[in-house]
Structure formats: C-alpha cells, structure tokens
Structure 1
Amino acid sequence: MAKRALVLVEGNTRGTGRQYVHAAQRLGLHPITLSADPTQYAYLAAESVKSIRVDTNSLDALVRECYQLRASYEIAGITCANEAFYATVAKLCRYFDLPGPNPASIERCCDKFAQRQLLAEAGVPIPTFRVAENAKDVESSAAEIGLPVILKPAVGNGSRGVRLCRNVDELAEHTTYLLGGKQLCSSPRILVEQFAEGPYYSADIMGDEIIGIGAADFGPLPHFVFRETVFPAPLTDDEQKHIADISLRCLRTLGLGWGPTNIEFRWTRVGPLVIEINPRLPGGTGPHMVQLACGVDQITEHIKLVIGEEWDLRKSLSHTAAVRCLLPDRDGILDWIDGDRRAAAVSGVAEVQLYVEPKASIVRKGDHRDGIGHIIAASPSLAQTTTMLQHAAGLIDWSITPFPTINE
C-alpha cells in the first residue's frame, strides 16, 4: 500500500511551516515540501523531512512533480503555510480533484485592491481607499482622502511595505521606496488608504465558524510591527457579535468559507472597519496561542480538511494566551542576548524562542521580520497572563552596537 503524503508548497522560516510538518506526521502522513530553495527552511534538513527542488512559481512544474510523486505515494492532500502560493495550491487541488479552496476566490482576496472593491460594493465597512500606479496618482489620492494615509503594495503580506505617511515628505519618501520595485512583486499598484485609528482585532475562522477574536498592539509608528497579541480579546458580547457578523459578510462577499481565514479590524469611532482579509491561518505564533487559549489545533484541523477527513473545532479550554514579540530599538550588531532560559522557567510561560544569535546584523525593515524572538504565556485569566508575560519579558535583555557612521 502506497504511503499517504501531504504535499506542502513552500514553507516559512519563522512561522507555521514546521508546525504543518509535525501535524502531518502526527496524522500518519508523510510531509513532502516542494520549494524553489528547500535550504531556506532549516527545519527540513534538521528533521530529515523530504523536500524537492522545483519552480513553485510554475503551475506546470508543480503538476509534473506531483505526477511523479504519485508513482511512490498516495497524495492525500496539498496545501501550504505561505499565502503567496495559496492560489497556486488551490489550482493544484482542482487539477488533482483534491479538497481545496476556490482558486478565483483566493486570487481576488490576495489582490488587496480587488478585495476592497468587492467589499465596498457589498457595503462592508472599510477605510476609504484609492489605487495608484505612479507618484502623481499617490499624491492626488492622498489629497482626496486627507493625510495621514497608509501606503502599501496592492499585493503582499507580513506588513511588508506598509507605512503611515503623516505629511507630504513622508508620502513622497515612501512612494519612491515602493516604486523602486522591491516591495511591489509583479504589480506596480499602490494602495492609498485612510488611516483607521482605534484598537486592533482579528477574527480567526475555519470554514464559516469563528473560532475566536484576538487583540493586538504594535511597535512605534510609522510602521505596523506586532508587539503584543492577546487571545481571546477582552470584548463584550455585543462587540464580539458585531465583529462576527461583519466577518461572515466578508466570507460571503469574497466567496470564501472553505478552510482558514483571518480577518483584521480596527474599531474606530464609527465602529469596526475591515483592514485586511487573509485566506489562510494567522502566521507566526498565532495558531499556538489559539491552541493554548481554547484547545483548538487549527493546523491539525486544517490538514484534516485538506485530506477529506472530519475536523473538530470544539473548544476544550477557556484560558487567555498572549504573545510578546521582542523588538530591537536600533540597527547594528547584536553583542549579546540572554535571559531566555530564565524567562522560560516563569510559571505559565509556554514558549520562549530567540531568532538571532550574537554577532548577527540587526537591520529593521518595518515589518514582521523585525522581531528577534517571542514569548508565549497562558493562564485562566487575562490579568494573570499579562503579569506572567511582563515578568518573563523583563528577564530577557540584549545589547546592540550601532553600525559605524560614514564619518567614523
């Protein structure tokens, strides 16, 4: 009998890639990663996980590779932990008649401009927005909306290229940066959006069932780098229902509702506005935090759906979990970092992970890559979890020597 394989298209370096591998193995599956460069995922070699080098930007190349795999394996399902390839995964699932999301829905959702157009037409509350393809368009769009505005690429994730522009100088500077091409992938389009001020919330959904709603805050503006996240968010029943109702409207509007979705909000003076809809699980520490809080293993249940098995989203815990991201306050060379073992020994701390080692170069980019580590804690109450997290974070310290200046 052929071994049952779960095909993973690409992975990720800090996020859920390793967790998908482990969850597949626990379900008796053989995870196989298809990647343009498998060496970028250290966990594949460290844990002797099968990987194949293939052009993951080519659907034809992926189809050929899957046909070859079927000579030795039964492909039970195909998925990924990387939003950039989720539409491709959806097409592969259709090609091989495997469970998967609607490719057209995923493509519309991953195009932030198309996503916002559909939401606006359906009357879903979102920030005022415009799309621009050059500096003149950006300037006129910002004038129409009114400063401050958010500038971001129309395609992308992880807050890459997202910045608050508070005046015309910042607007011109970031426009030049985005039009330089490094952040815009294959599309030169820039979204210009109203700055929606207010608390941040995110709804975690599987299918059309809302697992829960989290809250988060960020590091210093003008960037949006997560500093601390809490699940579940301290909301009233009415507030939760309001966000849940809008979330389900988003799913219907975009043709989603198969598999995981993560919807981000800002609760403004006019109520919650939808900031972003991501047709995937939350990245990074999100799934671990949710599991610690309510007992739902989103990754395992997603894989069950992918391979056509029945999932189980019943909650077995009623705790509050929180994550603190360790964010450097300067660029330079990391002299030392310690305290992680002491932090991990604090009661209620579930995980402490450092991403860097001494002598590493620290260059902040204003997005999810800026973190140098994280701490996760959980307990029966928000107050207790917050105290544990603050205590653990206070035990970790580091030193960064700034890079020499030109005049030195």
Structure 2
Amino acid sequence: MAKRALILVEGHTTSGPLYIQAAQRLGLHSITLSADPAHYDYLAAEGTEAIRVDIENFDALIQECSQLRATYDIAGITGFSVADESACVVAAKLCRHFDLPGPNPTSIERCFDKFTQRQLLAEAGIPIPAYRLTANASDVERSAAEIGLPVILKPAEGSGSSGVRLCRDEDELAKHTNYLLGGAHKWRSSPRILVEEFAQGPFYEATTMGNVVITIGSADFGCPPHFVPCKSIFPAPITDEEHERIANVSLSCLRALGLDWGPANIEFRWTNRGPVVMEVNARLPGWTTPQLVQLAYGVDIIYEHIKVIIGDECDLRASHSHTSAARFLVPDSDGILDRIEGTSRAAAVPGVVDVRFYVEPKASIVRKGDYRDMIGHVIAASPDRTRTAAILQRAIDLIDWSITPLPHSSE
C-alpha cells in the first residue's frame, strides 16, 4: 500500500515545523514543494522530503504532483503564507485539480487582494475603515485628503505588515509614498496602494475553522508609524458581549468572502463603532499563535487543520481554560547583536513555556518596520491572567542583549 503523503507548498519559519510534526503524528509523510527549499532550515532538521519547483509555474506543479502520485497516496495539499500569499492560492488550485479537499481557489485569491476583499466586505455591510485604491503619488495625496489624516498606507497585496505605515502628516505621507513607489518596495505586478482610515482602538483577532470561531485573542504593537507585534494574549480580555459581537462579525466575514472551508484569521480594531474589520486572512495565523491557542484551550489548530485537509473530522472543543501570552523581543536600533544573556534563567521561571531567539550573536540587525523586526519571543501560561502576566514579566526582566548601533536608513 502506498504511503500517505501531505504536500506542503512553500514553507514557514515557525508554522512549517509544526505542520511536519503534526503530519507525522497522523501517519503522513510530508513533502515540501518550494522555489528554494534551502530557505527553510527546518526541512533538513526535520529530515523531511523537499523538492525544488517553480511555484509560479502551475503546469510544473501539476507534473511534480502527478509524479509523486506514482509513489505516494497524496492525502492532501496545503500552502503557507509567503510574502505575496501566492502559495495558499496555488495549493487551493492544486486541490481542485486533483479532486482533494480544499478551499475555493477563487475565494482565496479574492481574499488575498486586499482591495477586492474590502469591496466584498463593504457590500455585505460589514464595518471596515474608509479606503481608496491608488496607483501614483497624486492619487495617494488626494485620497488621504478625502479620508483625512492620519491614514494607513499599505500595498494591496502582501502579508506581515510589510510596507504598512501610519502616516500622521503630509511629510510622512510623501515619504512613505516615495518608499512604496520609488523602487525600495518589491511589487509582483503594477503598484497598487491602499489608503485607509486609521481605525484606533484595541486590536483583536479571531481564529476560525470552517464556520466555527475557535478563539479570540488580543495583541499590542510597537511605536508608530510601524506595526511590529510586541505582545499577544489568549483569550482576549473582553466581556461576553464583546466576544459575541466579534464572533458574529467574524462569521459574517466568512460568508461575505466565501470562506466556508478551512481556517481563517480575522483582525479587528475595537473603535467607537464597535469591532471594525482590518483584514481577513484565509489561513491560520502564524508565529506563536498556534502554540498560544493550544496552551490556552488544549486545541492544536495545526493538527486539526491537517485533519480537515485530508478529509477527516476535526475536534475544536477546548479541553481546559488557561491564559497564555507571548512577548516579542524587538530591537530599538540597527547594528550588530553583540550578546544575548539570561535565556536559561528566563526559561527556568515556573510557567514559562518557551524562550527563543531567532538570531545568533554577531548577527546584523536591520529593522524593516514589519514582522521581520522580531528577534525572539517568550511564552508563558497559567490558569490565571494576572499570574501569566507576572510570569512573563519576570522572565523578560531576566533577559538582556546589546546591539552596537550602525548608521541606518529610516525606512
């Protein structure tokens, strides 16, 4: 009997190893298809199979999967969010081609186009920030004047807050417009910039599977104008009424976007209008969120997602109710990371689950103003919210690092 295999299109620094490990627990052999497998260090560490293939060449992907079917029973295919989200769309199309369980490729593609996504949400009457689609500097300036400063400028495609900035005045607006259009930002196609109202208020995110809201968490970000995560907590510190409102709007988003299969991650700001949808991602959240959800509720969302992928019934019921939280370590200057101290002491604090740096001493630190600025994290969990916060702070206080500053650009 042929061995059952799970095809992973591209990879992910944090979620990738978790998918491979969860697949192993389900008796699946993981095979990663990537334009550059060497980009993902964990593939060698996990001893998993990887094949180099141009993921933008759909015919080549079909041919590769067809050849694999001669050796393996392909149980499912899924893709990771890369810089342009294309792997998720490609994976959905492959599922459709090989008649495997998967999302509607058109729904995934429309969702990853932030402008199209906003149009569909607005048509459904879902609260979103005011927005305009622009392609040049004069359009940006005119749209910002219509909406009113401050505004958010962001590429209409992308992830991880790359290229996203808060523009508080005309100088910041002109500067970031020049950054996006002047060649520094990499575009897959013609530049398309969203100018959005700055929705102010606490940040929340809902994680869903199918039509089930699994959890609602909250997060904080570093100093404007960038949006670099600095803290995350599950469950979010909200009332039952606020939870219900966010959950109801989340389900409305899924219906409006046709995301009735698989995972989604929906981001909100709670404004004077209540929950306003900032973005809907047709995938599971990355980084520490899967681990935080499992610590808080006992639900392994990656394991359950793979069960959905291969056509098995998933179990999203919580087995306990704890509070989990992460603090992200973010440098305040560019330069050379000279030293890292205190990680062992921090890891030994009771209630600390994980202490991790993503870089080694002597690494060059060049901040980008997005998720790439995070150089590490600390995760803690306990049955009590106040206790979890105290554990996390104690661990953070034990960690120290230094950076020798070097001249750097402001973008």
Please state which band the TM-score falls in when normalised by the shorter chain: over 0.9
Counterparts in 2 of 1:187 and 1:386: CA distance versus 1, 3 Å: farther
Give the conservation status (yes or no) of the 8 Å contact 1:78–1:306: yes
Preserved contact between residue 35 and residue 54 of structure 1 (Cα < 8 Å):
yes
Q: What's the CA shift string for 1:360-402, capped at 9, x where partnerless?
A: 0000000001011001111001101100111111111100001
Distance 1:405 1:100 in 2: 44
Structure-to-structure mapping, 1:249-398, within 5 angstroms: 249-398=252-401
CA drift of 1:237 comes to: 0.8
Aligned to 1:143: 145
Report what 2:127 is aligned to: 125
Cα pair distance change 1:187/1:232, threshold 3 Å? farther
Give per-residue Cα distances to partners, 1:303-324, cap 9 Å, x unaligned: 0010011111111010010010
SS at match of 2:367: coil
Distance in 2 of aligned mates of 1:183 and 1:399: 31
The secondary structure found in structure 2 opposite 1:97 is coil
Report what 2:232 is aligned to.
Answer: 229
Equivalent position amino acid for 2:406 in 1: F
Distance in 2 of aligned mates of 1:127 and 1:184: 24
Which residue in the other structure is 1:21 paired with? Answer: 20
Structure 2 SS opposite 1:366: coil
Partner of 2:35: 36
Stretch deviating more after TM superposition (45-54 or 137-146): 45-54
Q: Which amino acid aligns with 2:318?
A: K
1:343-376 deviation line (CA, Å, top 9, x unaligned): 1111111111111111100000000010110011
If the length of structure 1 is used for normalisation, what is the TM-score?
Answer: 0.98
Q: Secondary structure at the match of 2:90?
A: helix
Q: Deviation of residue 183 (structure 1)?
A: 3.8
For the structure 1 residues 263 and 91, does the alpha-carbon distance in structure 2 shift closer, same or farther, using more than 3 Å as the test? same
**Structure 2 residue identity aligned to 1:224:** F
Correspondence for 1:58: 57
Aligned partners of 1:343 and 1:393 also within 8 Å: yes
1:8 and 2:11 correspond: no
Letter in 2 for 1:75: I
Q: Distance in 2 between matches of 1:148 and 1:30?
A: 50
Alignment of 1:122-271 (within 5 A): 122-181=124-183, 182-271=185-274
Q: Secondary structure at the match of 2:332?
A: coil
Tell me the distance in 1 between the aligned counterparts of 2:106 and 2:267.
Answer: 21
- Structure 1 residues 243-288: Cα deviation after superposition (integer angstroms, max 9, x where no partner): 0111111011000121100000000112110000000001111101
Shift of 1:91: 0.4
Contact 1:219 1:227 in 2 (8 A): yes
Offset of 1:405 from its aligned partner? 8.0
* CA shift for structure 1 position 404: 5.1
* Equivalent residues of 2:354, 2:379 under 8 A apart: yes
Counterpart-to-counterpart distance in 1, 2:25 and 2:249 = 35
Counterpart Cα distance in 2 of 1:405 and 1:226: 21
Alpha-carbon separation, structure 2, partners of 1:25 and 1:294: 22
Q: Which amino acid aligns with 1:20?
A: Y
Q: In structure 2, how many angstroms separate the alpha carbons of the residues matched to 1:103 and 1:291? A: 28
What TM-score do the two structures reach when normalised by structure 2? 0.97
Partners of 2:130 and 2:147 within 8 A in 1: yes
User: How far apart, CA to CA, are the structure 1 residues paired with 2:270 and 2:381?
Assistant: 25
Identity %: 67
Contact (CA 8 Å) 1:99, 1:308: kept in 2 or not?
yes
- Gaps (5+ residues) in structure 1? none
Q: Is contact 2:79–2:89 with CA below 8 Å preserved after alignment?
A: no
Distance 1:24 1:235 in 2: 34
Q: SS of the residue aligned with 2:21? A: helix
User: Closer, same or farther in 2 for the Cα pair 1:398/1:218, shift >3 Å?
Assistant: same
More moved, 203-212 vs 80-89:
80-89
Matches of 1:368 and 1:290, distance apart in 2: 20
Distance 2:165 2:52 in 1: 35
The equivalent residue for 2:115 is: 113
2:7 maps to a residue whose letter is V
Q: Distance in 2 between matches of 1:292 and 1:247?
A: 23
After TM superposition, the runs of 4+ consecutive aligned structure 1 residues lying more than 3 A away are: none
The structure-2 alpha-carbon separation of the partners of 1:405 and 1:308, relative to structure 1 and needing over 3 Å to count, comes to: closer
SS in 1 for 2:406: coil
Question: Match for 1:400 among 393, 399, 403?
Answer: 403
Distance 1:106 1:331, change over 3 A: same
Residue 73 of structure 1 corresponds to 72
Distance 1:187-1:259 versus aligned 2 partners, 3 A rule = farther
Q: Distance in 1 between matches of 2:225 and 2:328?
A: 18
